[in-house]
Structure 1
Amino acid sequence: MMDLLPLIVLFIAIAIGVPVALAIGMAGMTFFMFAGAMPTELFVQRMIAVTHSFPLLAVPLFVMTGVVMNFAGITSRMMAFAESLTGHWIGGLAQVNVLLSTLLGGVAGSANADAAMQAKVLVPEMNKRGYDTAFSSAVTASSAIISVIIPPSIGLILYGFMSDVSIGRLFLAGIVPGIVLCVSMMALVAFMAKRLNLKPALDVKTTWGQRLVAFRGASLALMVPVGIVGGIRFGFFTPTEAGAMAVVFSIFVGILYGELKPHHFKPIMEQTIQATAIVLLVICMASTFGFFMTWERIPVIVAEAMLALTENPFLLLLMINVLLIIVGMFIEGSASLILLTPILVPVIASVGIDPVHFGIVMVLNLTIAGITPPLGTIMFTTCAVTGISIGAFVRAALPFYALLFTMLLILTFIPAISLWLPNLQFN
């Protein structure tokens, strides 16, 4: 019974509403307090030691890149470019919403950040043009999912760190699935826009000259993901160094545009520190809980239990997908990723599933769970900004749920979609 006490503490703490990071820390501390042969000082040591990781430094750097780009006016230029391409379509602003999420995936790398920004900027404009607020909120939250697998993705960085998988390969693996998700979601929005008789964002189609002007305004920002992936691929810098390069480049672009001012430095640092602290607190606490799981051989036990049920890779992936969706409905995506990656990667590796392919599936799965009730963080973020009720959001999001779960299954059982590009570049 004492061996399971940390797990019991974890589940009870989450059930009564204790913040996930603290719940994980309490569970880890329970192990060190009641394991007789384990000094309690080791709890603090494990918590601090994980922060010495060089790859983990990429998280605050890419967070800062997204914040700087918002202050530098780069985000608005990317929105203007997206609008010039799709604004004349029926339901044009909804299409802009989807396309902007794809473009921002290479900038912010965070679904919550993407959803919050677009909920503030695009949803009020969509409402002015007669869009239903619930539909606008559903499009915003659902399209934000694309940003988690378009490089640089914070989720992919965390998965690579926890599973010891090449972050460069993960970045490349996310490009094609991200594009496929974008195209499929734009097709769904076009279908729904005709049924709802939504108006275009622009009365007339933009000329190629106007699109070229909009592209020039966004071109420097669009070079960020290209430069990151290319630099990692050709060995110019590591993923962590790529984060530093992205920060420097975004500051340079902001100064070049004349929109980044000295007084922006303080709010940029504040927002970066706040966002980073949330992620790193979970990671630090999870390190102590991970020590408990390793000591008690929980990953090995779970692997043996799953493999006892089936060694078929397809059935195993289906089981894991169901597990991830259920867990993701109750625990925030980053926390779930940090907790479950050390447990599940040995399982999939034992049956020959590529860990890079599984990383795309796992990150996408847990992010989809973020727009589902009861505790989806992306859903709550969007609804808090737009003022729509959770019930109305869920009803409007039903077609997007169907699409996202279908795409998850396609990406799960057709690994070539994820692996084609990294295998081509790194073979």
Structure 2
Amino acid sequence: MFIVFPFLLISGLPIFAAIGLSSVTYIVISGAIPLMLIPQKLFANVNSFSLLAILLFMLAGELMNRGGITKNILDFSSKIIGHIRGSLAHVSILGCMLFAGMCGSCTAAAASVGSMMIPALRKEGYDDDFSGAVIASAAVLGPVIPPSIIMVIYASITGVSVARLFLGGIVPGLIIGLALMTVAYVISVRRGYTARNEKMARMREIFASLLNTFPALMLPVITILGILTGVFTATEAGAIAVAYAALLGFASKELKLAHMKDVLIRSAKSSTNVLLLMGTGQTFGWILAREQVPQSMTLALISITSQPVLLMLIIIAFVLFLGCFLTDATIVPILTPLLLPVVLSIGYDPIAFGVILCVTSVAGNLTPPVGGLLFVVSSIGNIPVYRIAKGVLPFLFIIIGVLVMCAVFPVIISFVPSILMK
């Protein structure tokens, strides 16, 4: 199975097909399991009410993008920080942070913000490698700041609280956002990029832009408060997000009934891709569990060290390596059943581990050759992938630095959930 999988991956097959066919190879060679188990496992792995949240949040993101909400968010961001050196880069990062609180997808954040900001950055004289790197790295915030699709996947596998995971991502997401803006500022000063506005916008203009954006900014507040208070589940929160985004889009007159077919098709394609990766990934993980790989890995890792922090650093390095070849939607279903027993055996918080695993796997989208965000931004901005990959390195290093800090001090993640969910 481990020989066939990388061979199929290199051959150019879709990742879910490479995982699925390598699982079929194991079943055929072993002869101990009927082939009928494959479709049964695929269906059982995605036949979950909680996973409907993935489709719903993706649909909400598509509705908000089509409804012009992204444009309002970027305008509000420009009013606040448009006077700082490298202002358009900061607007892109802040725009991704705000948009992240509505869609929970790094691909959606890169596509929506990048389609608007890359032409603007290019017009203002920013180099393409820097522009692409800013959008790609800022899109990592999509699955970090709640709601997060990848965290819903982790919660569905482990049974931990979705609300705790969402809350645990808030502080790391803010830290990463500020760190990315710091790196963007330093690079902007070195390259001589100027501010878009001579001075900060007047309070009246900021307030007017805030009023225009306020309904959209309330969406993450409504969903998180609703989950925390028990008014609705994470899946129901996704349904409310869809209804709310559609209402805002129709109210702004940017979203038309004629757009709905395209919106539904785009969100269905995105969701299908994620669910296929989940289904095949968990089948792959089930085979590894059947062969007692988790137990062997637990013993192997603990034999290296029993120090929680050092073990987490090893896991971060391992996940980043896998990110060179696999997507986050593949890594989390495969590694969660393998690594969770190890983490629990050393007494590490499963919520902190979940947030670190999810963020690290998403950061893998910035590493070639498979780096999904690199290809998304490349296609949107017509920028060569190698230029983006080179420009993204300073941002990737700072994201890894924040992950290491969270691994050493897991209270950064657990602080907010421990206060709001006692």
Which TM-score bucket, shorter chain as reference?
over 0.9
Residue 184 of structure 1: how far off its partner (Å): 1.7
Give the CA deviation at 1:256: 1.9
Select the residue among 293, 296, 321 that pairs with 2:291.
296
Aligned pairs for 1:205-244 (under 5 A) are: 205-244=200-239
- CA deviation map 1:372-402 (0-9, x unaligned): 2222111121122222223322332232122
Q: Report the Cα offset of residue 319 of structure 1.
A: 1.0
CA deviations over 1:293-326 (Å, ceiling 9, x no partner): 2221111111121112211111111111111011
Aligned-CA RMSD value: 1.4
Give the whole-Å Cα distance in 1 for the aligned partners of 2:395 and 2:18.
32
1:158 to 153, 162, 166: 153
Residue pair 2:356, 2:406 contacting (<8 A) in 1 also:
yes
Q: Which moved more, 1:364-373 or 1:224-233?
A: 364-373
Return the match for 1:321 from 316, 321, 325. 316
The aligned counterpart of 1:3 is none
Give the stretch that moved more between structures: 164-173 or 36-45.
36-45
Q: Which residue of 2 aligns with 1:363?
A: 358
Give, as a single letter, the amino acid of the residue that structure 2 aligns with 1:280. Answer: L
Matched, 1:91 2:118: no
1:71 shift after superposition: 1.2
- List aligned pairs for 1:268-307, cutoff 5 A: 268-307=263-302
**Partners of 1:8 and 1:407 in 2: how far apart?**
34
Distance between the aligned counterparts of 2:392 and 2:31, measured in 1?
A: 50
Aligned residues of 1:98 and 1:186 also touching (Cα < 8 A): yes
Q: How does 1:122-161 map to 2 (within 5 A)?
A: 122-161=117-156
**Higher alpha-carbon deviation: 322-331 or 279-288:** 279-288
Q: Quick check: 1:108 aligned with 2:107?
A: no
Query: In structure 2, what is the Cα distance between the partners aligned to 1:406 and 1:279?
Result: 28
Distance 1:306 1:215, change over 3 A: same
Structure 1 CA distance, aligned partners of 2:279 and 2:366? Answer: 26
CA contact (8 A) 2:289 2:338 kept: no
Q: What is the identity, as a one-letter code, of the residue corresponding to 1:118?
A: V
1:72-115 deviation line (CA, Å, top 9, x unaligned): 11111111111111112221111101100100111121112211
| CA distance in structure 2 between the aligned counterparts of 1:401 and 1:51, rounded to whole angstroms | 32
What is the identity, as a one-letter code, of the residue corresponding to 2:42? M
User: Among residues 254, 257, 263, which one is paired with 2:252 in the alignment?
Assistant: 257
How much has 1:414 moved relative to structure 2?
A: 1.1
Q: Alignment partner for residue 166 of structure 2, among 168, 171, 176?
A: 171
What SS does the corresponding residue of 2:221 show, helix, strand or coil? Answer: helix
Q: Distance in 1 between matches of 2:239 and 2:16?
A: 27
Q: Judge which range, 390-399 or 143-152, deviates more.
A: 390-399
The letter of the residue matching 2:336 is T
What is aligned with 2:194?
Answer: 199
The answer to whether the Cα contact below 8 Å between 1:32 and 1:42 also exists between their aligned partners in 2 is no
Distance 1:53 1:90 in 2: 47
Deviation at 1:34, TM superposition (A): 3.0
Q: Which residue of 1 aligns with 2:21?
A: 26
Counting aligned pairs with the same residue, the percent is 33
**1:377 lines up with 2:375 in the alignment:** no
Q: CA deviation at 1:191?
A: 2.1
Determine the structure 2 residue equivalent to 1:119.
Answer: 114
Deviates most, 304-313 or 269-278 = 304-313
Distance 1:73 1:395 in 2: 32
TM-score, scaled relative to structure 2? 0.97
Gap runs ≥5 in structure 2: none
Shift of 1:180: 1.1
1:32-71, aligned counterparts within 5 Å?
32-71=27-66
1:219-268 CA distances to partner (integer Å, 9 max, x unpaired)? 11111111111111110011111101111111111122222211011011
Q: Output the TM-score relative to the length of structure 1.
A: 0.96
Question: How far is 1:204 from its partner?
Answer: 4.1
Gaps of 5+ in 1: 1-5
